[in-house]
Amino acid sequence: MKRTLLFFVITLCSMKMMAEGLTATLQQGETMTAFYGVNAFVDAYKAAEDGAVITLSEGQFNDVSSIEKSITVIGNMAFDVEGYEKTYLANTTVNADNVTLEGIYFTDVYLGNINNCHIKRCRIGNTLYYVSNTVHTNTLIDQCVINCEYAMPTSRNYCLKNSTIKYFGNSKSPEHIAYITNCYICYFAKCGNSNIAQPYAIYKNCVLGMDIHDYGTSEKYFYSPSEFYNNYFYRITSYTYSNNYTNYTYKEYFYDGCLNNGNTNSGDKSVYISSSDIYNGKYKTDSFGMLGDDGTPVGITGGSGFSPYPSIPRITSKQIDSKTDSNGKLNVKITVSTEETLIKEEKPEDNPVEEPTE
């Protein structure tokens, strides 16, 4: 298995060096096929069968408007990470069961009448939306950054975790609540205003922003069947708005049996947050100093954490001699790093083992 995987990675590297422009590889069993150019993804998709894996290089590809096969699509990167270029797709609609999307910067994603869709380590620059008159079931959003989440109304058994969401564009039927854990929701609610939706869900270990910029009240009401466990509510204010409300002590009220266990808020203290990094998945929520019920910091640094790196191995260095040795052999050295290696290199151990000294 390791030999096959290494061959796969080396082949990807070789194709990238040979190809001019965009590259897509189609892996079906032991067979790999390469496609090139702006239509590489479209061509790979046409040739794909259920269970195939399509890997995309960096760059802007023409879209497959409707994914109707049970496939996995993995891009190069979705976030601003030094040394990596992003993979871009515009409008993508998922209309098949068992689809996985990873490591891609999307403009919009639409969820149709599907089951078991997994969107991982992607950024959705505009909207995650639903297709009218459909239901998406068992959708998992993991380690993503989403501008507007609008897929709630037609969801069943919907789970969002370790993700950053600017705001929810729609509520959800109380008959089918969602599961939201270790997320950072920038604008979760506006006190005194209902324009921003607060979907019915079970919220655990999240950081939830409460905007009181321009409303003369600092109260917000939440209702059953939503449940709130070990979340941190923080008050948003800004110097660009009037200071009339910045000294209010705001409060959340839980009514009609809405469960409230272990939650806290910033009270009369405003929390100022820089927007420069939060939409690239870099925002660190452990600065709030609160632990969730799993013993890890609330927000995206808790739970399983957040990583921008797609799960496929990466070639992080290569050395190829310019000529053969005396035996006619060419020395080639390639270093392959897995996701775990890249994370460890980015954040070394707090207590490294020291070499013994004499």
The span from the CA of 93 to the CA of 129, in Å, is 9
Q: 167 to each of 188, 196, 262, 307, how far by Cα in Å?
A: 6, 7, 23, 21
The rounded average pLDDT for each run of 10 residues, N- to C-terminus, in the chain (358 residues) is 45 44 90 93 97 94 96 94 91 97 96 98 95 95 94 94 90 85 87 71 91 63 89 70 52 83 75 60 63 88 86 61 72 56 48 38
Closest to 265 in 3D by CA, of 279, 278, 253 = 253
Classify residue 255 by burial, with Cβ atoms within 10 Å: 0-12, 13-18, 19+: exposed
Give the pLDDT score at 271.
Answer: 59
Q: Tell me the torsion sign for CA atoms 335, 337, 342, 343.
A: negative
β-strand 53-56 against 23-28: which pairing, if any? antiparallel
Largest CA distance in the chain: 82
pLDDT at position 118: 98
pLDDT of residue 354: 37
Here the tokens at position 225 are: 């069947």
Task: Report pLDDT digits (tens) over 267-305.
Answer: 655 555 555 556 665 655 555 678 888 888 888 888 888
CA distances from 225 to 126, 271, 307 (A): 29, 28, 32
**Which H or E run includes 45?**
helix 40-47
For 188, the 3-state DSSP assignment is strand
DSSP character for 154? G
pLDDT, tens digit, for every residue of 331-354?
A: 766 554 555 544 454 554 443 433
